[in-house]
Amino acid sequence: MAPQNLPAQLDKPTQAVLLIMSLEEDTVSKVLRHMNPEDIRALHNLAGKEYKTDSTALARTYRDFLNDAQTPILPAGAGTAYIERLAQRSLGSDRSRSLFKESDHEKPYSSIEKRSPEEVVAVLENENPQVIAAILAELSPGFAARVLNLFDMELQPKVLAKMAILESIPNATVNALFSAVEDQLSEVDSGDQITVDGISRVAGILSNLSIDETEDLLTNIGDEDPGMVLRLRRAMFGFEDLINVQGRGMQSVIKEISNDQLVLALKTASDTLRDKILSSVSSRAAEILMDDLAAMGPVKLSEVEKAQQEIVDTALRLESEGQIVVAGRGGEEIV
């Protein structure tokens, strides 16, 4: 049978055959793994024909393939359903369903953030601190901080203190308040629990407030729970955050700690933070630090973390005293 002359405008099946047959076998085998049996059989039937190909036909095929690859094949918002459909074809219904929980598709509480903070406060202001804490814990830290700022000053620390001790929230409680805000959802009686890291949530909110507001709230939280303040400060500021200490602030921190503490803390420090610390001391002191670090044998991670936390606590104290400035703290820019 004589080879067929390719038409000027190649159809998609023919282009697919040409593309597949022009690739290396290893590449083709990987492609075929992702195709269903019907499509592979169709390719097989087409590949049995003899085609009179030339460089122009192949170039046209590659060009069309690249154009298709760069053109969205789905309308906006349809990607989720498309991926789920592919997963079902590849993995089966049961296994694919287990990959996509309802919470992956829709987080109803996030729609609260489409409203103004004033609207949210109008709904929540008559609720008790525990309930307000449960709702704010589900919102992004930035939005929650704006909502919190609108509450009475006496109520704010009570809400944060309640949020800090949260470990789980009844779904029914959160859904009921969401219904009050949106007036769309009905109250759901569910025994399910949502895992919440209350300390991290409060720390995130405080980090989006000004330094003065944060310090006032921490003072008031300390009246509610003295031990909570240190936990919150540590959650808001970690050892690697020292990279954000401004100007000569790092020198002030280093003056407050021992050389042994510093060497031990540098054991797991990032290169960026290590360079910042070394650049804050004299060349001779930096050389001694690096020599001591190189000579240090294996140490317990807990000892390193303890030394780092002691340095962090020192930096937090200096910041609260106004002796150092940390960029990005309190949601404020440094100029």
Q: What is the pLDDT of residues 237-275, one digit of tens each?
A: 888 889 888 888 999 999 999 989 999 999 988 889 999
Torsion over CA of 256, 262, 265 and 269, rounded to 10 degrees?
Answer: 110
Give the Cα separation of 309 and 324 in Å (integer): 17
Cite the beta strand spans of 191-280 per DSSP E. 193-195
Tokens of 277: 């610390």
Cβ neighbours for 220, distance < 8 A, ≥ 6 positions apart: 156, 157
Residue 291 CB neighbours (<10 A):
11
The reply to whether CATH 1.10.220.30 applies to domain 239-331 is yes
- Of residues 94 and 166, the one with the higher pLDDT is 166
Task: Give CATH for domain 110-216.
Answer: 1.10.220.30
Quick one: pLDDT at residue 148?
A: 92
> What pLDDT digit, counting tens, does each position of 43-101 carry?
777 766 655 566 666 677 767 766 665 544 444 444 555 565 556 555 565 555 555 54
Give the Cα separation of 147 and 117 in Å (integer): 5
Q: Which residue has 């070394």 as its token pair?
A: 278
> What pLDDT digit, counting tens, does each position of 263-308 carry?
999 998 888 999 999 999 999 999 999 999 889 888 898 899 899 9
- Of residues 54 and 310, the one with the higher pLDDT is 310
Query: Is-contact 229 206, C-beta < 8 A?
Result: no
Nearest in space to 138 (alpha carbons), one of 116, 113, 162: 113
Cβ neighbours for 8, distance < 8 A, ≥ 6 positions apart: none
Tokens of 306: 């303890």
Cα distances (Å, whole numbers) of residue 179 to 16, 109, 166, 172:
52, 10, 22, 10
DSSP 37-77: HHHHHHHHHHHTS-EE--HHHHHHHHHHHHHHHHS-SS-TT
Cβ neighbours for 286, distance < 8 A, ≥ 6 positions apart: 278, 279
Region(s) of the chain under CATH 1.10.220.30: 110-216, 239-331
Query: Is-contact 163 169, C-beta < 8 A?
Result: no
Cα distances (Å, whole numbers) of residue 261 to 237, 256, 275:
18, 10, 17
Is pLDDT at 7 greater than 70 in this prediction? no
pLDDT band at 189 (very low <50, low <70, confident <90, very high): very low
Cite the beta strand spans of the chain per DSSP E. 4-5, 51-52, 168-170, 193-195
Give the Cα separation of 91 and 94 in Å (integer): 8
Quick one: pLDDT at residue 329?
A: 59
